[in-house]
Structure 1
Amino acid sequence: MKMYLSLLLPFLLVFTSCSDDETAADDGLKRIERQVTKIAKSGNLPSLEVTVQTQEDVLTFSFHNEQITPQSTFGIGSTTKLLAATLVIRKIEVGELSLSDKITEYIAPEQINFIGGVENVTVKNLLNHTSGIADYTKHGNWGSAVVAGNAPKTFEEKLQYINPASAQMGSFNYSNSNYLLLQKIIESIDGKTFDQSFNDFYAAYGLNIILETTKTGLESFFAQDANATMNVSGWHEHYGFDGGAYANTNDMNGFLRKLFIEKSILSSNSLTMLEDWVSMDDMTIPVGAGSLYEYGHGLMKLKFGDDSYIGHSGGTLRYQSFVFFNPQHDVTISVLTNCSGQHYNNVFFQEVIPAILDEL
């Protein structure tokens, strides 16, 4: 990506608070606001939105560069996988699908039989990334296609980016291809497009979380180092169930509380199904002094100090997200930003998120 970093965009950063009830936030939450604002300024972040809710208080605030248009919607990237998995588990809950179903029962074998061992892959293998199917976004030409504006859009086009050689089935290997196949299964069950199924599902719970694979009109930024930032709003990755949803932190916070606290989306038994953990092995992800180290069915587990959090994080070429729930204390955290690249990744996951977790 270094060839694109010569396009510099100087940032003059300002902060705007949009807390619904600033006086309701306790001292810890106020410290989060101050700390995150300081980090966002020093890290030259373009936009950031945060919602943290404890048993007593809720804090929502945003930070943005005055040179860009303030936005209330962000891409959530791979956090979409938790939302997609919730929809899939709901299908299992009502008897329309089973974890043990072979995916060739729902997807025409002639479309996917070029993938080694695909005839043995189950819905469970897709949900927890143990299918061994190669990630289409790791294909050598995928990144350059995104930058050039011709990234694969359709299911069939994305299939062409999957390496037919199969990795060892049963071992954890995070792959966007798994959720590409899950969306095709949901289409087969519902008889409508995967985005319609997804959007209808969340609209029924009063959540403005939209899957839109060709979303336009939102700014996003990319920086490999602190001194080289470029506007990449024209890059479109065309994700689906693997990362194509858009939302704000209030709706993501609402999703977490409906799912894990109110249990109004899935039953307690189905929530237990989400938490069927496998080790992420050498694919663990550091988050400050903690790490994302286990994966369930579309669900990540984070160990940070003495606390454990469950949820999902996301990182694309344009966005980053962190949407997690602390079951010990009923705390929900949703953080979204419209930037990526090594510099912004480090600021987000190694500074912003740890600063929040340290206060909680």
Structure 2
Amino acid sequence: MNKDLTLLFSTVILSLSIVYSQSNTAKYQEILDNAHKKGLPAIVALVKDTDGTEWRGKSGVSNIENDTPLDTNQNFRLASISKIFTSLVILQLVDENKLSLTDTISKYLDVEIQSKIINVNSITILQLLSHSSGIYSFTENNDFWKECYFYDGMSRTWLPNELINYIENKKPDSEPLEPYSKKIYSNTNYILLGMIIEKITNNTLSNECQKRIFTPLKMNDTFLEGFDDKERKPIDSYIIPNSSFAKSAFKKGLLKKSKGYEFTNLSETYKLFNSWAWAAGGISSNINDLSIFLSALKNGNLLSDETQKVLLQLNSSQDNGMTFFGGTGGSDGIQATMLHLMPSNIDIIVLINSSGSKEVNLSKVFRELYKIASTQ
């Protein structure tokens, strides 16, 4: 999930001199259809142009084995876009004077967890939020992925302390840094933030997101996978088994290619395959709910002026005179982006249920949608 926004943004600014004869609606749909034809099982997108005109589209099927029709408002896994939700709850707790961004994390963590984190007494909440803590990411530990792929680790929910076990005795990536000075991406940061939320509120992360975000904004189709009272499931997710762990799982017979396709259905083998991501990437949603969420984030309706500035700084990047606010996410079987582009005032949301193919991926689709949206 450690996809830096700038990796996507640096490829976005393109020549806009092409003159188009088609309507934007047809051009957007053609992009999605081509992406599906080139190998993406399912893709949905929303584009809000500079003039405020909104378009939504889809292409593909939700399950390629059964040729199940795809709905535009199908739920997709979001991966690291979920971190925005976690950071929002933390900042709301700051507004409520229940914690401070300068508090050290040892103040809110149990002694057992503290013992596994080097520099625990000097790392602050803001350093977790801004990926400047230097803490080792548990997703860099191969033993974690072995548990996931070979021992049913993606067919169950995880306790947060189980994830923290994978950083024990691991050297930090760096000493704690000045917030925003350098990003050293670590999913452990946001697992710890989730634990802190639960400690302060005496409530589950899932319930706090529901109470603070999903219900007030009427995001009725958004949930934390594996922790949802309604036991809802997102769309099936597919991969081409290229990673070492996926290849090994394939050789062991744990994964099988979908008949007639190069893809493997992760959701068929691993029933809760993304629930491990929890506060770092476990949320599922659809383009309708994400459009509502992005609007609320832009309008500052969920935070005070002071913490809104922090949210913007945490989730913004600049490139070639443009500012991108929002997030992207990527993991096995997941590609997602939710971005507001300034000063062009364009919103683009793209959700894909696969890791991409040799010919097409999230970055390519995003660039093509942006090119059209910015020629108004």
TM-score by length of 2: 0.76
1:253 partnered with 2:294 = no
1:48 partnered with 2:53 = no
Q: Which runs of 5+ in 1 are unaligned?
A: 1-25, 277-295
RMSD between superposed Cα atoms in Å: 2.3
| 2:106 match | 104
Provide the C-alpha distance between the structure 2 equivalents of 1:196 and 1:30, rounded to a whole number of angstroms.
41
Q: Structure 1 segments of 4 or more deviating over 6 A?
A: none
**Counterpart code for 2:80:** S
**Counterpart code for 2:337:** F
Q: Which runs of 5+ in 2 are unaligned?
A: 1-21, 243-259
Provide the C-alpha distance between the structure 2 equivalents of 1:350 and 1:184, rounded to a whole number of angstroms.
32
> Is the 8 Å Cα contact of residues 219 and 231 (structure 1) preserved in structure 2?
yes
Answer 1 or 2: higher relative contact order, Cα 8 Å, separation at least 6: 2
Match of 2:173 among 153, 167, 175: 167
| 2:366 match | 353
> Is the 8 Å Cα contact of residues 32 and 44 (structure 2) preserved in structure 1?
no
1:322 partnered with 2:337 = yes
Matching of residues 180-259 of structure 1 within 5 Å: 180-202=191-213, 203-208=215-220, 209-213=222-226, 216=233, 218-223=235-240, 228-233=262-267, 234-235=269-270, 236-237=273-274, 238-259=276-297
How far does the alpha carbon of each residue in 1:183-211 deviate from its partner, in whole angstroms, 9 at most, with x for none? 01111111111111112212122123212
Cα distance, 1:155 vs structure 2 = 1.1
| 1:265 match | 302
Bigger mean CA deviation after superposition, 128-137 or 326-335: 326-335
Provide the C-alpha distance between the structure 1 equivalents of 2:294 and 2:32, rounded to a whole number of angstroms.
22
**Counterpart code for 2:97:** G
**Counterpart code for 1:334:** I
Matching of residues 254-333 of structure 1 within 5 Å: 254-260=292-298, 262-276=299-313, 296=314, 299-301=315-317, 303=319, 306-333=321-348
| 1:62 match | 58
Provide the C-alpha distance between the structure 2 equivalents of 1:349 and 1:217, rounded to a whole number of angstroms.
19
Bigger mean CA deviation after superposition, 123-132 or 57-66: 57-66
- Paired residue secondary structure (2:59): strand
> Is the 8 Å Cα contact of residues 51 and 249 (structure 1) preserved in structure 2?
yes
- Paired residue secondary structure (1:206): coil
> Is the 8 Å Cα contact of residues 47 and 55 (structure 2) preserved in structure 1?
yes
| 1:280 match | none
How far does the alpha carbon of each residue in 1:316-356 deviate from its partner, in whole angstroms, 9 at most, with x for none? 21211000012313322111111116x37x72233111111
Provide the C-alpha distance between the structure 1 equivalents of 2:127 and 2:339, rounded to a whole number of angstroms.
23
Q: How many residues align?
A: 309
TM-score by length of 1: 0.79
How far does the alpha carbon of each residue in 1:17-40 deviate from its partner, in whole angstroms, 9 at most, with x for none? xxxxxxxxx933542222232233
> Is the 8 Å Cα contact of residues 32 and 59 (structure 2) preserved in structure 1?
no
